[in-house]
Every structure is written in structure tokens, then in C-alpha cells.
Copies of this chain bind each other. A is one copy, B any other.
Amino acid sequence: VTISDLGEFGLIANFAARLPSDERTLVGIGDDAAVLAMPDGRVVASVDLLVEGRHFRRDWSGPGEIGGKAAAQNLADLAAMGADPTALLVGLAVPGDESAAWAQDLVSGVARECSAAGATVAGGDLTSADTVMIAITALGTLAGRAPVTRAGARPGDVLAVTGVLGHSAAGLALLAAGLTEPASLIAAHRWPHPPYPAGPQAATLGATAMIDISDGLVADLGHVARASGVQIDIDTSRLPRPQVLTEAASVLTGAGISGGPPGPLEWVLTGGEDHALAATFPPGTALPPAWTVAGLVGSGRGILVDGRVFAGRGGWGHFS
């Protein structure tokens, strides 16, 4: 059964039956627009586009993984503001001759990640296109907290991170080399699991700035440094560098990848798409165990790594 067979409205009806909803959704799927409760009088909103061949490959990821990852990267943007996710709107452009089951699996992946984050799916749009494109809008609430922007870091603050770093990049390198182990890294590339509750937690702890690591730690902290007018010095000795990344580097070297693979440290510093959170906190803030102090904010400009200008690649640029 193809998408064209079912048609736009048939497919949407199928989707609606399998999507999470709850009392926060005052008007849900099937009307001109959704209406959501935003009891604190503000809404936090973000949109991300994912394009087949650029953000995902259908031969490397199944539809559920593509949907789950699309949801995760957008929900992580809410967490990075200190917000709790409320609902997603899911825009999907897909060829009409694709199977309806494929599209339903993608939407099920979105729904599963929403449930993990405590969000619903409140609406969307479905259209035909030659390549798959996903546009996810995430809507969330600050529940009375002040938003944590990129612009509030101050000299003397400490940098802390939570979530995994470099796993997705290592998994991508393994996939590109046609390898299948370590499987946990490939899974991390296909479907990241951002530390959603840590975002509101950081806001409550008084975080001065926060960002999710979508393009790479150095690149994304560069945005914070620029917006805040500060320098951030990353202390690599404190960054988590799990054994599995060393294993991945060995496997890639053993497979004879030309020029040698990036090492674990480069993955940790420049790998994107894990959607870890990096935040700055006033000195002396008592941080819960999930947060790892990994640097200091100073009064200069830009990013240092262990006190020196970083010579490696900065991260991912969409038009580079």
C-alpha cells in the first residue's frame, strides 16, 4: 500500500490513531491549527528541517530512526532553553510511491521520542516530494522559569556538560566505512537520546547560558562565547572520553581507513548530533552528578581548548 493509495487524509487518519495526546492539547490533529495550553503565558518554539541525503540516508537509517532523531534534535532545542516540551508539529514531504508503512514507521519514531520527552504530537502537514524532508516544530513551556539563552555567560562561570559527546560522529564514521561495531555508537548516530530533563534542571540551578550540541562542542560553544561576549576554555582532561570511542578508533584503523580516523578527542570536541547540553553556571553552583564540569569562562573572546586556540575542525556547517 503506497502513500498515494491511502491519500493525504487517509494517511493522516492512520497517523492520528497512533500519536500521543493528552489534556494539554485543547485542539489536536484534524483542524486548521492546533490549540495548546501554555499556562505560564509564554511558548518556547523551534523548527528544524531534515533533508534526505544531507541529514539522513535511508540506506543507513530506518524510518523509525529517522523520525526519532528528527524529534530528538528539535526537543533538545527546547531543553537548551530550559523548557519542558509540550508538543510537536510534524511536517512530512515524501514521494507518493513510498509505502504507507514506511511513513507510518517514521511517524511512530517521532511519537516514541515524544513520549520519552513527555510531549505529544498535536498536528502537522503531509505533502508529496521527490525526496523525503521532515520539518519538525517543537513547542514547550518554561513553567515560570526564565529562559536560558546563549547570551548570559559571565567571566568566572564554570562550563559543564551532560549527555554523551562524540558518539554520533564515531557512529557515522563506522557507517561510512561499512562497519557494524561498536553497535552502540551506530545506534547513537541513528537515534540520539538527549538528556531532556537536564535542561529545566539547569535553568532551576541558575544556568547563565545553555546550548545543545548539534554541530560540535567547539562550534556550539563558539555561539555561546559570541552571544555572551566571553571566552570559554574547555578542559579536555575533564571531558568524558569513554572506552567505546577508543575501540571505534581502533576498529577504523584496523579497517585501514585512509589517512587514519579522527581520534576519540576530536569526536568529543567536534562531533555533532548527540544533542548533549552544555551550560555555564555561576562559580560555586552545586551541580548534580549528571553534570560534568569541563571548563571555565573568561573575559576574552572565542574558544580555547586546554588554554590554546583549537587547531582542529570546528564542526558541521550546512553550506560548507
Contact = CB atoms under 8 A, between A and B. Distances in A.
Interface of A: 3-4, 6-8, 26-27, 30-51, 53-55, 77-78, 80-81, 83, 87, 89-93, 96, 122-131, 133, 135, 137-140, 142, 147, 149-151, 210-212, 227, 317-320
B140 A211 contact: no
A39 B40 CA distance: 8
Contacts of A3: 319
A47 B227 contact: no
Counting from the closest, the 3 A-B pairs by CB-CB distance are A135-B135, A33-B46, A32-B80
A142 B35 contact: yes
Contact of A45 (B34, B40, B210): B34
A8 to B, nearest CB: 5
Given A89-B46, A91-B48, A35 B127 contact: no
B8 A45 contact: no
Contact of A318 (B37, B54, B124, B127): B127
Nearest to A215: B8
Given A27-B147, A135-B91, A137-B89, A44 B48 contact: no
A46 B133 contact: no
A149 B28 CA distance: 10
A133 to B, nearest CB: 5
A251 to B, nearest CB: 31
Nearest to A39: B41
A148 B272 CA distance: 43
A201 to B, nearest CB: 16
Contacts of A122: 45
A125 B48 contact: yes
24 contacts: A27-B81, A30-B227, A31-B149, A32-B46, A32-B80, A33-B45, A34-B45, A35-B42, A35-B45, A36-B43, A41-B41, A45-B137, A47-B47, A47-B90, A47-B124, A47-B135, A51-B93, A51-B133, A54-B127, A54-B128, A96-B319, A129-B131, A133-B133, A133-B135
A31 B226 CA distance: 12
A32 B319 contact: no
A45 B80 contact: no
B137 A7 contact: no
B126 A318 contact: yes
Interface centre among A37, A46, A81, A142 (most CB of B within 10 A): A46
A2 to B, nearest CB: 9
B77 A32 contact: yes
Contacts of A126: 318
A80 B46 contact: no
Contacts of A44: 33-35
B35 A43 contact: yes
Contact of A125 (B7, B26, B49, B128): B49
B128 A81 contact: no
A43 B40 CA distance: 11
Given A32-B80, A35-B142, A147-B35, A128 B51 contact: yes
